[in-house]
Chain A
Amino acid sequence: MDFLSNHLLSVILFFPVFVALVIWFLPKEEETLIRWTAFIGSLVPFALTLVVWFSFDQSMSSVFQFEENYIWYETINSNFHIGVDGISLSMVLLTTLLTPLAILASFSVKDKIKPYMMLFLFLEMGMLGVFLAMDLLIFFVFWEIGLVPMYFLINQWGSKNRNYASLKFMIYTVGGSLGLLLAIQLLGVLFGTYDIAAVTEGWTALSGTTMGMDVDTVKNITFWAFVVAFAIKVPVWPFHTWLPDAHTEAPTAGSMILAGVLLKLGAYGFIRLVLPLYPEQSAHFAGWLAFLAVMAIVFGAFGAYGQWDFKRLVAYSSVNHMGFVLLGIAAAAKAYGTANAHIAMNGAILQMFNHGLSAAGMFFLVGVIYERTHTRDLRKFGGLFPLVPIYGGILIFTSMASLGLPGLNGFVSEFLVVRGAWGELAGYTAAGMLGLLFTGAYILKGVKNVLHGPMNEEWAHGEHKLTEINTREIVVMVPLMVLMLVLGIAPAWLLSVINNAVTALF
């Protein structure tokens, strides 16, 4: 047990790989065995995350805890250094919670289950590594590694246009991270270390000239290199165009993880790297970031409203919701060190968590109905509520959480973002609020076209008769719905962990 308690984070990080290797040696005909191995295997990191959560010292949540540090790449002085603070812990919890649910959601996958489950577990490792990394190079390593399983999940288990979508996803993200790669190399060359804390200290203090250029110029350029890499992942308008394609083509569970966790990596990059490394640039360009955020909110909402493909609608809603995250980050950057900054940042991080829950839920529900009808065209549904009352109830509940109905989770975080941003970026916030209006519109459009109106008789009788959501699918939704409700009514348990870190850091 000593080993476990001393290496809790690395066990959480690498246990999925271990499970994947176990699955590798299982015969591929044993489909049930493979599914359950993957599911139970992915519950272990979740259980261990709970252990970390409850033994985490919340009063010290701005300090990295459960740190582990090993020599990795000695020659360039990069160490395998991992740890959690309040911000990353909440993201780790989100990841380890959503992965088992996504795997459970994939029990209906029939094709090539073995590689599918292995890729999912590798994906979990990649995402966790980004949240845990305390070394820039390790951060980048995991940042890139996560792409590979996602590419293959879309490319192999996606729908019709998957080749286009997966390559677009890959090229966009690899291309976007080139700037990040170069900026990380530059920092490494300058400071001879990749430790995030040490680099931050040296970089913020640096002035004069470096590399034959004015430090401020270099900082401005690399600031945008970081911003573009993370903005593509979030995704922020106008870098969002890969997202609807990737989502539309990805398998259901792939979309759940993509929206639930992968997008958070981008926002996490802003919080963990961009703001601490570039406090001045962030404050200076906060207006631009807020502008991009508002564009994402407004255009995301319009984009979603314009869709007739249910999944694309939900995909654009991610652009819309993640816009609020960036708005909160922009406000925090502008107001650095004030109460407004703390409120906005709290809101942004909570919104990341909440969007993880609601987006994963929404994508799963789209998947549930798609599996039965083999269509996602909203015009082909209609009036399904009487046929599938339980599904309908769950869909409305989740939609309302996504819409930001008070009492459910989305409201709390969006309110915090707006409350924090209002004092700093009133104009942008106001425009964003108008965007929120359209959030209501597209969500109601989705709900109305699926559940209400005249019933499409095709689904009522015969071989296409729509079947109710089954127990397994309800089990996937229950934890998400419980959390949506709990976070809507009593968010303090999560917020206090985040808040202690945020007030100390920003």
Chain B
Amino acid sequence: MTFPILSVIIFSPLVAALIILLMPADRKTEIRVAALVTATFALILSLWVYLSYDQAAAGYQFIEKYSWMPQFGISLHLGVDGISTPLVLLTGVVMFTGVIISWGIEDRPREFFAFLFLLASGVFGVFVALDLFMLFFFYEIAVFPMYLLIAIWGWVKTREYAAMKLTLYLFIGSVIALVGALAMYFESGMGTFNMLTLETANFSPEFQKIWFLPVFMGFAVLGGIWPFHNWSPDGHVAAPTAVSMFHAGVLMKLGAFAALRVGIMLLPVGAKEWSWLIFAFATVNVVYGAFIAMTQTDLKYMIGFSSVSHMGLVVLGFSTLTADGMTGAGVQMFSHGVMTALFFAATGMIYDRAHTRHIPELGGMMKPLPWVGTAFIVGGLVSMGMPGFSGFVAEFPIFMGVWQVTPWVAILAVISIVITAAYIMLAIRRTFFGEMPAAFEGHITPIKAIDKIALVLLAGLMIGLGMFPSIMVPMVATGVENVLRILGGA
């Protein structure tokens, strides 16, 4: 028996969370060190999975299967393919950097890290689950700690409202999807939740046409799809820095990923039937999100709405049902995850010092915080799809996919690039350049060395992927090939 790496990745944060909860609350330094060790461990393991994934063999790898409730056909069935492997790495990266950024949390760090790891555990679980029941199980595990993390450690002004809104939206979405999943379970008559088996169930076209939309949209709510996106910016703003990083960086990918895995891959005929509608919604996301982001004056709201726009590109890519579009969408999930994690980390560092995120009140931050400024600029360039950075590598194939489906939508959606360029450049200039307000004089302390590690890691990933797309894109393409095979067979 080989080393069960995927279950170790899922359960090690869970075990660490329990251990941290058992530590005395006043030993804050030890708690932080324990958290960092856990996160480093998870990062190394996810990197290991990423590097040892065999692209030539493709398909699902590192498969583990333990029977859990055989009466109902539920088993702990894990495995990764070319689409989920980068997402596992992404989760590892965000977890590691998120812990680093949260080093300074003084209010109950023990509980904070415990909940954060519970969240991470759930996220890892969704990405590697090959069992429909387990996917839901981990999905809810990931959503629940968000509520507490936002409601307890969030921004005082809006945290109760945002936590409530976020949780209700996501629960309603997942309940609708769950109903669809149960319908699949009974319709198939196979008595199993195994997704690989369900792929071969050959649901009748009528069944697929009815159930595709609820399942896909139920998950896509978490992906921030229009018109169900407005929980997302509120949640971003209210959440503490590390939770925003998780939320935008990883959690939104969960929605898009589950929508792909359950919606498109299990109900391919339904996907073909309804792709035009998803396509239309996603187009609205892309363009509308960009325009709304332009009007924001709060840095976090701006990034929140830009996430809506960028996640729209992911869904847009999936809904083209073409090799180029879906591959681009897969890469965009990784690229956007790293980018928003970086944005929120940088914003958090500024907020911790300036105690405001209101763009007009900021200025001149480049001088005291050159690392933050440079990292933010790199993130901005990724966001506007500048060639040489990961955003371009991801968005270009998405647009190629859109060309193959509806050319004029490509022309419409591309407008978002110039809108993004405008608001990002303005935000960078107003935040980091110009005169620093006198009130900040002496308050803007330099960032810690450990923060620099987080910023460099995130920025480096985006530049590396942008310059050498071959380090990730071919892997995603193998996963997409499998999806296309299913779509073609339907």
Contacts and interface: CB of A to CB of B under 8 A. Distances in A.
Q: Do A and B originate from a single complex?
A: yes
Interface of A: 71-76, 137, 140-145, 148, 151, 155-156, 163, 167, 170-171, 174-175, 178, 181-182, 185-186, 188-189, 211
Contacts of B440: none
Interface stretch (B130-138, B244-252, B275-283, B415-423): B415-423
The 3 closest A-B pairs by CB, nearest first: A141-B387, A75-B473, A73-B469
A185 B433 contact: no
A59 to B, nearest CB: 35
- Chain A contact surface mostly: helix
Contacts of B396: 76, 137, 185
Contact of B470 (A74, A185, A189): A74
Contacts of B384: 174
Contacts of A178: 414-415, 417-418
B425 A75 contact: no
Contacts of B474: 74-75
Interface stretch (B110-118, B148-156, B400-408, B449-457): B400-408
Contact of A188 (B381, B400, B473): B400
Interface in B413-451: 414-415, 417-418, 421-422, 425-426, 429, 433
Given A73-B393, A144-B387, A145-B387, 5 more contacts: A72-B469, A74-B473, A140-B387, A178-B414, A182-B411
B410 interface: yes
Interface in B361-416: 381, 384, 386-388, 392-393, 396-397, 399-400, 403-404, 407, 410-411, 414-415
Interface residues of B, number: 33
A171 B421 CA distance: 7
A186 B425 contact: no
Nearest to A188: B400
A142 B388 CA distance: 8
Contacts of B473: 73-75
A137 B137 CA distance: 43
A156 B370 CA distance: 14
Contacts, number: 80
B98 to A, nearest CB: 28
Interface of B: 324, 327, 381, 384, 386-388, 392-393, 396-397, 399-400, 403-404, 407, 410-411, 414-415, 417-418, 421-422, 425-426, 429, 433, 469-470, 473-474, 477
A155 B400 contact: no
A189 B404 contact: yes
A171 B414 contact: no
Contact of B429 (A144, A155, A174, A186): A155
30 contacts: A72-B470, A73-B469, A73-B470, A73-B473, A74-B469, A75-B327, A75-B473, A76-B396, A76-B397, A76-B400, A141-B387, A143-B387, A144-B387, A144-B388, A145-B388, A155-B433, A170-B421, A171-B422, A174-B417, A175-B418, A178-B417, A178-B418, A181-B414, A181-B417, A185-B396, A185-B399, A185-B400, A186-B407, A189-B404, A211-B403
Contacts of B421: 170-171, 174
Contact of A163 (B327, B403, B429): B429
Contacts of B426: 167
Contacts of B418: 171, 174-175, 178
Contacts of B381: 148
Given A74-B474, A148-B381, A170-B425, A189 B393 contact: no
